Amino acid sequence: MKGAGRLYPWSQRFNLKLLLLVLAIGLGINVVGVGHLLLAVRSALSPADLQLLLHWIGLLLLVLIPAAGIYSLVSEFAFWEGWLEGLPAPSTLFDHTPAVAASHRCYLVYLDGIHQLERDHPPRVSAFLELLEQQLAAETLLVRGLETYTVMPVALAEDAGSAWFWRRLFALQEQHPNGLVQLLAAVLVQANNVIKVGISSDRRYGPILNYELALKISLRLAELGFRPGGGSRIVLTGYSGGAEMAMGVADYLRRITQAPVSIISFCGVFSGNQVLDQLSGITTIVGSKDPVAAFGRIAYPGRSPLLPLSNWNKALSAGRIQRDCIDGMNHNGNSGPFSEPFRLRVIKAILAALALPVAAPERTGC
């Protein structure tokens, strides 16, 4: 997808401040515009008709939102059913012959946030990852370029069932002269990834999606020379929604690779529903001014202290979760983790988390 390259600079500028500004302007226009619209509508429709219209719009939303979620599930389950080729058996993933050259001791797998559209990361994220890679120890390999929100090896614009829709949306996002239309198109593209985060956190569907994603990560690790039982460990590092995907896949990855798996999240939005008790460690790096990560604690009841028996709270009370707060850091944009003022501090926090002692194999069951 050549055009997608041009999307990145725009995606980088898409931050919370811009969204709030556009929403505020939109709200202002609406306050003025809706008044005029209401006068026009009221001359054509009676109050009873208006009420009926509002009911129908509400009903339509009630139908459309679940329909989008249900449609998103179809490809995951078609893949699971084996109707789409490419779901390997875990036993066939790895080469079980001893490695010729010494493989890496630690595989640091990066799972991107919901802004990810295809394999390549946006430029600011790529720059961050290059800096991180430079500072990693020689025995640690950074695994990047994983499409976190698709289980199939194709980009959205090549998806069999919905390619026409995504291509049209990408075109609107890139070429439409109206900024508001561009923003809405970008929000819709990212909404697809948000739905995937919702699927991962759903206790009914999460296991299937997370298993498929764990297989995808395992395939990538196998390509890079990972061998089960070779003494290597895996660290999943997830940004924003990537943290939820990391928590979802971690236990499956541990079982498939038979290696200790730990998680480092930064600005993470996650449910805490997943199986966390067998992981080697969890570190969450949070910004003190990150409203999105804070919203995650409200959106997912499993992280509320009111539910002490949730997987997250049990891991928290067992002392398996380390928390590192970075003062002044936001979720994205010029104060986000990929911005120049904060990226070195985030990298430092990641390196500190990597240096933490790994739980013994007996404890992790690997």
Partner 1 sequence: MLHELERLLDGLGGWLIRADLGLGLLLVVGISMSLSHVFALFANRLAARQIIWRLVIDALVLAAAFLLTSSIDMVLLNLYGSNPVHPSAFVDGIASCLLPACFYVAVAAPYVGETMGLVIWVLMHLNVITFVHVRFDLPWDQALLLTTPGYLLAVLLVALLFRQSWQRGYAMLASELGQP
**Interacting residue ranges for partner 1, rule: CB under 8 A:** 62-63, 65-67, 69-70, 72-73, 77-78, 80-82, 89-91, 195, 198-199, 201-202, 204-205, 207-208, 211, 252, 254-256, 278, 365-366
**Closer residue to partner 1 in complex, CB, 182/201:** 201
Q: How far is the CB of 338 from partner 1 (least distance, A)?
A: 27
Contact 114, 240 (CB under 8 A): yes
**Closer residue to partner 1 in complex, CB, 347/366:** 366
Q: What angle (nearest 5°) sits at the alpha carbon of residue 145, between those of residues 140 and 148?
A: 110
**Closer residue to partner 1 in complex, CB, 78/188:** 78
91 vs 256: CA distance, rounded Å: 8
116 vs 124: CA distance, rounded Å: 12
**Closer residue to partner 1 in complex, CB, 256/267:** 256
**Closer residue to partner 1 in complex, CB, 260/287:** 260
Q: How far is the CB of 162 from partner 1 (least distance, A)?
A: 17
> 98: how many CB neighbours lie within 10 A of its CB?
8
Q: How far is the CB of 43 from partner 1 (least distance, A)?
A: 34
DSSP state of 61: H
- Max CA pair span of the chain: 81
Contact 261, 234 (CB under 8 A): yes
CA distances, 62 to each of 45, 51, 201, 308 (Å):
24, 16, 21, 32
Q: How far is the CB of 7 from partner 1 (least distance, A)?
A: 26
Contact 237, 349 (CB under 8 A): no
Q: How far is the CB of 360 from partner 1 (least distance, A)?
A: 15
Q: Please choose, from the candidates 189, 199, 245, the residue with its C-alpha nearest in 3D space to the C-alpha of residue 70.
A: 199
**Closer residue to partner 1 in complex, CB, 90/333:** 90
**Closer residue to partner 1 in complex, CB, 120/202:** 202
Q: How far is the CB of 94 from partner 1 (least distance, A)?
A: 13
**Closer residue to partner 1 in complex, CB, 93/136:** 93
Contact 94, 228 (CB under 8 A): yes
Buried b (16+ CB within 10 A) or exposed e, 292-319: bbeebbeebebbeeeeeebbbbebbeee
User: Between the CA atoms of 352, 120, 171 and 58, what dihedral angle is there, to the nearest 10 degrees?
Assistant: -40
> What DSSP assignment string belongs to 237-297?
EEETHHHHHHHHHHHHHHHHHTS-EEEEEES------S--TTSSEEEEEEETT-HHHHHHH
Q: How far is the CB of 364 from partner 1 (least distance, A)?
A: 9
Q: Residue 262: beta bridge partners?
A: 235, 281
**Closer residue to partner 1 in complex, CB, 156/208:** 208
First to last CA, the chain: 40
Q: How far is the CB of 323 from partner 1 (least distance, A)?
A: 25
> 356: how many CB neighbours lie within 10 A of its CB?
13
Q: How far is the CB of 273 from partner 1 (least distance, A)?
A: 11
**Closer residue to partner 1 in complex, CB, 246/353:** 246
Q: How far is the CB of 275 from partner 1 (least distance, A)?
A: 10
